[in-house]
């Protein structure tokens, strides 16, 4: 399912001042099964753009479409994974109940919910963990639970807002490979916001580079690295280093975007 942003602008009111423009006119199309990463400095509108894609935030102007339908609220066929798994999971509920909430919200039959919960836990490597509580798990395991909950809906599009920012480097690498695995298994479109340029290059088919003041899209860069990818061999390829350097230059030296 195609995700389209059509001349979208987002501004926020400010007391005794002109509205603050968070994201200037932005247009882009994300095709079915694409993995798109969004990078840029703090305050450039990455999360704002993602929240408008999800229907959790309304554009000031322009529109977001999922397929041929305008997004005016959280649409069917789309799931969101947030950075702060500690707030998105209910600590007083078991893992199974945390996942079942998604199925209940979608009004799935009880037997279907149970089957999808088991399927999603197996997909993220947590088979047998359904009776644990989030507070009994490591940060990486909790984020796997959050990903599994998104998978219960079998989404066509998954939006991920800096989901691995709070975990250590080894866990982050494991979770990156997990996302590539489930993206392939579920044949999803993924839009992934990150501050980590290496992560963006490793995961993506395309990297969108945003710049701040106001937030705007300055480059849509194809990532022409072969798949499947590997944490060691992919990152040792000369092309990986070239792409990383190009994105780093765009993020750190805004004037170069006009080159």
User: pLDDT value at position 14?
Assistant: 80
pTM of the shown model: 0.94
Q: Which of the 8 DSSP states describes residue 58?
A: -
Domains of the chain: 3-77+156-258 (3.40.50.300), 89-154 (no CATH)
Q: Tokens 């359904």 belong to which residue?
A: 130
Q: Which residues pair with 211 in a beta bridge?
A: 216
Give the integer Cα–Cα distance in Å for 148 and 99. 7
Q: In which band, very low, low, confident or very high, does the pLDDT at 257 lie, cut at 50, 70 and 90?
A: low
Give the integer Cα–Cα distance in Å for 50 and 119. 27
Q: In which band, very low, low, confident or very high, does the pLDDT at 213 lie, cut at 50, 70 and 90?
A: confident
Contact present, 145 and 175 (Cβ < 8 Å): no
Closest CA to 49 of 14, 2, 4: 4
User: pLDDT value at position 19?
Assistant: 84
Q: Locate 245 and state its tokens.
A: 């350097």
Q: Which of the 8 DSSP states describes residue 232?
A: T
Contact present, 98 and 104 (Cβ < 8 Å): no
User: pLDDT value at position 120?
Assistant: 97
Give the integer Cα–Cα distance in Å for 32 and 51. 19
Give the integer Cα–Cα distance in Å for 87 and 105. 18
């Amino acid at each position: 399912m195609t995700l389209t942003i059509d001349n979208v602008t987002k501004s926020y009111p400010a007391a005794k001042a002109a509205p603050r423009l968070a994201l200037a006119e932005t247009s882009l199309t994300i095709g079915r099964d694409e993995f798109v990463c969004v990078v840029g400095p703090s305050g450039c509108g990455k999360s704002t753009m993602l929240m408008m894609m999800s229907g959790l935030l309304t554009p000031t102007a322009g529109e977001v479409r999922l397929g041929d339908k305008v997004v005016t609220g959280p649409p069917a066929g789309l799931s969101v994974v947030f950075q702060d798994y500690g707030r998105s999971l209910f600590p007083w509920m078991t893992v199974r109940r945390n996942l079942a909430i998604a199925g209940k919200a979608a009004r799935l039959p009880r037997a279907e919910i149970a089957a999808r919960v088991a399927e999603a836990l197996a997909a993220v490597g947590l088979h047998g963990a359904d009776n644990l509580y989030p507070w009994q798990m490591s940060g990486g395991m909790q984020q796997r639970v959050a990903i599994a909950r998104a998978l219960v809906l079998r989404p066509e599009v998954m939006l991920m807002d800096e989901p691995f920012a709070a975990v250590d480097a080894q866990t982050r690498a494991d979770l990156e490979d997990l996302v590539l695995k489930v993206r392939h298994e579920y044949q999803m479109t993924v839009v992934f916001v990150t501050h980590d340029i290496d992560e963006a290059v490793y995961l993506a088919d395309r990297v969108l580079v945003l710049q701040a003041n106001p937030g705007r899209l300055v480059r849509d860069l194809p990532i022409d690295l072969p798949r499947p990818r590997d944490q060691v061999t992919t990152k040792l390829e000369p092309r990986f280093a070239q792409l990383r350097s190009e994105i780093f230059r765009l993020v750190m030296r805004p004037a170069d975007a006009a080159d």
